[in-house]
Amino acid sequence: MSKRWLLVLAVALLAGAPLLFAEEEVYVRGKDKAIKGTITKEGTKGIELGKTFVSAEEVTDVVYELKPIATNIAYRNAVKVEKESQDPAKEKDRKAKIAEAIKSYEELFAAATDKAARRHLEYKVAMLRVRQVREDGDEPAKALAKLADYAKKYRNSWQITSVLDTLARMQLEEKKYADAEETYQTLAELPDVPEEVKNDAKLWMIRVKMYDPKKSGEALKLVREMQKELTPKTAFHARARAAEAECLAADGKLDDAVKIVREVIKDSTDKEVKALGHNTLGFCYYTQGDKAAARWEFLWVDVVYNQDRNEHSKALYYLWKIFGETGDAVRAQECRETLMAASFNGLEYQNRLKSEASKVE
């Protein structure tokens, strides 16, 4: 072996990477170890590594094999930096690590030649900018622009479902209702995506109308029409019924909403449905003046069904109000501090809390 190759090998090993003969790595939801091999095909449906297929919904990340070796080493180092930004033990370095990863990925994009890898590097930058918005309160303009650009350029990628869903949720948070509705429509019309993804996008198109003051009257009619097309007693039918209850509650038809949502909560095991259901029930009880009953519903979301930050923020907001109105200042302050965390930055219910709290201080 020549001195030159010995030097290259030494550099690779010092970089902490058995990279010289590395394979591409596909990380799958719920599994610690990546599937390694050579990617032979990828698209909206997912990724193929020889005879192994992983659906797009199950892929959490991919580490591609870049050339030349020096570029590949730099890429693996950027991946390492990004992972460090997700480590709770290194929270003090998180913000700097995110910025470092973005810079590295952007430089790698300029150097890389592989189309799939370049596409993924753009995806990584876009999603890291979303983290900057959600975790550090950065202005959302850059993240929205990156997501929109990606969605326009790479409609047939395995990342497109995640990109469109993230873009639509950010547009909704920014009260860009028409844009969010259009994005969900694009997602619903994508070829080669599971029917559940399409249905979820269609349901969100309806829920966006509910939030839009100009179109809120259309939502209840549309969600009822949608239920006719769905198989009863399925998980998605339950989501549609929960959305119907949400529409009724927003329209002041509280008794009707309570009746539906109690049935939905009882019958469904879907965490998203549970969160929406308990929050809707809590809203109804709170509006009717039963703060004790409302508190328990919102606590279910805060403690158990807190996976969706929008629903979690709503529960925290109402818990803050309820504890404050019932004289439990300590727990009200705890809810306030939690909702004011950077992870809820920009959300409607954090903004509501800020506005209402400032009036009494």
- Which pLDDT belongs to residue 249? 87
Strands (E), the chain: 24-28, 35-37, 41-42, 46-49, 52-55, 59-63
Share of the chain above pLDDT 90, in %: 63
Instruction: Tell me the C-alpha distance between 150 and 183, whole Å.
Output: 13
- Global pTM reads 0.81
| Residue 2 predicted with pLDDT over 50 | no
* pLDDT tens string 239-274: 899 889 888 888 889 999 999 999 999 988 889 889
Q: Are 187 and 201 in contact (CB under 8 A)?
A: yes
* pLDDT tens string 120-178: 999 999 999 999 988 888 899 999 999 999 999 999 999 999 999 999 999 998 889 99
Confidence of residue 351 (pLDDT cuts 50, 70, 90): confident
Q: Enumerate long-range contacts of 79-82, CB under 8 Å, 24 or more apart.
A: 80/16, 82/124, 82/128
- Which pLDDT belongs to residue 8? 44
- Which pLDDT belongs to residue 359? 65
Q: Are 34 and 27 in contact (CB under 8 A)?
A: yes
Over residues 176-195, mean pLDDT: 93
Domains of the chain as residue ranges with CATH? 1-192 (1.25.40), 194-304 (1.25.40), 308-361 (no CATH)
| Residue 227 predicted with pLDDT over 50 | yes
